[in-house]
Amino acid sequence: MNEKVAVATVRGVAYFHIVNMLKKHDISFVSLVPGVLVPSEVEVVITTPEERHLVGFDQVLVFCGVEDLDSLLNATKRLMLGKQAYKRIVIGIDPGGAIGLAVIADGKIIEQETCYSSDQVVFSIQKILKSVNYNLTRVTVKIGNGVAVYSDLLRELDCVLPVQVVLMVVDEAGTNRPLKEHSRSRRHISSAIHIAGRLGNSVHRRPMIAASHTTQ
């Protein structure tokens, strides 16, 4: 047994959603009854608010509903790496008809996918950054300039991402390296990983806009 995650709940609906999340992301786990001794190999236990008091463990995450799954997944991955918070997150984007996306946190790839629209890219990045504390974590988004549409995606990211996020444009030349496997989506992800690792030019972010007060 070498699973780093334990699911400790006897509540059927919660167990179903937690387990589906873990399986979808290829995270192995062990199932426990709340109150049972947690195996020494486990790094994080996931339970429910009602059963939290039964789990005698330091690193416990609480499932609060389906809308909380993205944050729960991000926290699970972080604690599996032994991190209370990441120091740096770098997101690489390979734009085009199919868009490669790679997320690297403190040197480890924690997320990678192929997107098929700018909306999907923005949604995926927002999910990843949803629970980030910008006082503890520096976030940089790097986008390749290999196709003209990169500028449209860049403007969209500038509009929706917090101003604490650094945006950079990276020269994409040489990032499209041939792979042994002939998966187009895999090539875009590989390019995104290379883009994340390159130096680029910082983009001037939009100014912060003070909240306006509407009069009735």
Same domain, 118 and 193: yes
pTM: 0.80
Structure tokens at 30: 């062990």
Q: How far apart are CA 86 and CA 81, in angstroms?
A: 10
Residue 135 lies in a domain: yes
Q: How far apart are CA 174 and CA 143, in angstroms?
A: 14
Angstrom CA distances, 66 to 26, 69, 122, stand at 19, 5, 20
Same domain, 195 and 96: yes
Q: How far apart are CA 137 and CA 131, in angstroms?
A: 11
The residue from 80, 112, 136 where one domain ends is 80
The per-residue pLDDT for 176 is 61
User: Measured between alpha carbons, how far apart are the two ends of the chain, in Å?
Assistant: 63
The residue from 49, 80, 111 where one domain ends is 80
The per-residue pLDDT for 93 is 95
Q: How far apart are CA 167 and CA 142, in angstroms?
A: 6
Same domain, 149 and 183: yes
The per-residue pLDDT for 194 is 94
DSSP 38: P
For the chain, 216 residues long, give each residue's pLDDT as a single digit of tens. 578 999 999 999 999 999 999 999 999 999 999 999 999 999 999 999 999 999 999 999 999 999 989 999 999 999 998 888 999 999 999 998 899 999 999 999 999 999 999 999 999 999 999 889 999 999 999 999 888 888 899 999 999 999 999 999 998 776 565 555 556 668 889 999 999 999 999 998 877 544 444 333
The residue from 80, 100, 120 where one domain ends is 80
Same domain, 124 and 198: yes
Same domain, 147 and 168: yes
Pairing of strands 29-32, 5-8: parallel
Same domain, 29 and 111: no
Q: Please, are residues 96 and 146 in contact by the beta-carbon 8 Å criterion?
A: yes
* Residue count of the chain: 216
Tell me which residue range forms the domain holding 69.
5-80
Same domain, 75 and 171: no
Residue 18 lies in a domain: yes
Q: How far apart are CA 31 and CA 11, in angstroms?
A: 12
Same domain, 28 and 55: yes
Question: The CATH number of the domain where 135 resides is what?
Answer: 3.30.420.140
Question: The CATH number of the domain where 21 resides is what?
Answer: 3.40.50
Residue 211 lies in a domain: no
Same domain, 63 and 101: no
